[in-house]
Amino acid sequence: MARKTSLSGFPEWLPEERLVELHVLDVLRETFELHGFSSIETRAVETVGHLLRKGEIDKEVYAVSRLQEDEDAGSPKGEDQLALHFDLTVPFARYVVENSGYLTFPFRRYQMQKVWRGERPQEGRAREFTQADIDVVGDGTLPFRYDVELALVMIDALSRLPIPPFTLRINNRKLAEGFYRGIGLTDADGVLRNIDKLEKIGPEKVAEALREELGATAEQAAAALELASIRTDDTSFVEQVRALGVTDELLDEGLAELAEVVGEASRRAPGKVVADLSIARGLDYYTGTVYETVLVGHEHLGSICSGGRYESLASTGKKTYPGVGLSVGVTRLVTRMLSQGMAVPSRKVPTSVLVSLVDEESWSQAQDVAGQLRARGVSCEVSATAAKFGKQIKYAERRGIPFVWFTTRGEDGALAHEVKDIRSGEQVPADPAAWAPPAEDLRPVVRAVAAVGA
C-alpha cells in the first residue's frame, strides 16, 4: 500500500514498493529496446524561456535559484532563469536541435527521468514524478507511419505489465481544428483546451465556457460537443463525422490520418484501441495525432500514457525536426498499482541467502561463502552477529530472505555446508561453489494479483 509522505506531492516508496516501480521501469526499458529505441538522459533544468515556448503551464513550473544570490555574478533572470523541466518532450526537442549533427534520423529514443510540476497533489498527480517516454524524430519530414508504430510499441509495453486491461484512445488535432473552423470557431486552441476538460467538468460547463470565453453560439457549442461524443473501435467514426455535415480541408486530412492509425492499430491490437474524438491534450505543441490511455475500471485516475505528433517543437528556425511520442506516467501508474494491490513482489528484498555465523570468529569465513555465491549471481548478505541460530533465522524471516546458509567445522577440520529453506523447513547439504536457489527465488519477482479492485 502506497503511503503518504511528510512532504505532499513528493512520493517515496518502501523497499517492496520500489521493487514494483523498478519492475515497471525494467519492462518498459526492455520493450523499448526490443523495438530499437536508444536511451538518453537530458539535464534536469532548462531556461524558463525554452520551457514556456509551448503550452500554458507557467503556473506549474518550478524556478531554480541559489538561496543566496550573488548580485555581482549576474544571475539569470526572466527567460534566461533556470527551471526544472515539467515534461521530457520539450527538453528532448532542445537536445535534438543541439545534437542534430551527431544523430541518425529518424532518431528513436526512450528516456526515463524525474520531472517536476507545481500541481495540487492528489492520487495520480504528484509534484515530483517519473515519466518514461518514447519518441521518433525526423529531419525535415517524418513519415506518418510512425504515428501507427508508436501506438503499437506502447500497447506492447503496457501489455507486459501486471495491470488491468487498458484502452488507448486516439484523436487527431487536425480533425478537431478543421471541424471547428468549418463551423466558424476560429480559436481552435481555445476550443481544444475546453474540450480537454470534458471528463472533469461535464458537457454543460464546457458548452457554457465555449459561449462565454470564445463567443460560440449555442449551435456551435452543441456541434463541438457532438463531435467530442464520437467513439468507435474501428474506422466507422469517419462516417459519423461526415454525417455532421461539416466540410474543411484540414478536417479531411485529419480524418484520413486518424483512420490510418486506428485501422492498423485496431487490426494488430484488437480491443485495445478506440477512436475518441474528445481527446485534445492540453499542450499546444501537438499538431496531429494525439493519444491518451486509461485503465479499464480506473478511468477517473486519468491518462496513464499520453502524447502525440508535433511538427515544429524542435526547430532551428531554418530547419524543423518533426516527431511523435508517447509518455508513460510511471509514478501515477505505480501509485495506483500499489494502492489497489494490483501487483506484489515475491519478497521485500533482493537478498536470496543469509549466510549465518557460528561464532564471531567465523565472519571472514562467511564472507568467503558469500563471495562464491555472489560470483554466480546469487544475492546474499552475511549475518551481522553470531546470535543464536534461531535469532538469525528470525532476522531472515523479517527481511523476507528465503534461505539461510550454515557452515560448521567437523572434528577433522573439514567444513560442512548446509542451506535451509526457512519457508518449508527443508535443510540440505550444499556446495558454495555450485549451489543456486531455484530460478523463481534467484531474485524478487513481481506478479499480478488476480482480482483487482476498481
Cα–Cα–Cα angle for 68, 116, 3, rounded to 5 degrees:
110
- DSSP per-residue string spanning 19-37: HHHHHHHHHHHHHHHHTTP
What is the CA 338 to chain-centroid distance, rounded? 15
Burial label, 428 (beta-carbon count in 10 A; 0-12, 13-18, 19+): exposed
What is the CA 234 to chain-centroid distance, rounded? 26
131 is in an annotated binding site: yes
Neighbouring C-beta atoms of residue 425, cutoff 10 Å? 7
285 is in an annotated binding site: yes
Q: Could you tell me which residues come within 8 angstroms of residue 200 by beta carbon, excluding any fewer than 6 positions away? A: none
286 is in an annotated binding site: yes
Nearest in space to 123 (alpha carbons), one of 13, 24, 11, 280: 11
Distance CA 212, CA 231 (A): 27
88 is in an annotated binding site: yes
Distance CA 374, CA 363 (A): 16
Burial label, 126 (beta-carbon count in 10 A; 0-12, 13-18, 19+): buried
φ and ψ at residue 143, rounded to 5 degrees: -55, 140
169 is in an annotated binding site: no
26 is in an annotated binding site: no
- Write out the three cell numbers for 284: 499546444
Burial label, 176 (beta-carbon count in 10 A; 0-12, 13-18, 19+): buried
Computed on alpha carbons and rounded to an integer, the radius of gyration of the chain in Å comes to 27
87 is in an annotated binding site: yes
135 is in an annotated binding site: yes
321 is in an annotated binding site: no
**Using an 8 Å Cβ cutoff, are 159 and 337 in contact?**
no
- DSSP per-residue string spanning 376-404: TT--EEE-SS---HHHHHHHHHHHT--EE
Binding residues: 87-89, 117, 131, 135, 281, 285-286
Binding residues for L-histidine: 87-89, 117, 131, 135, 281, 285-286
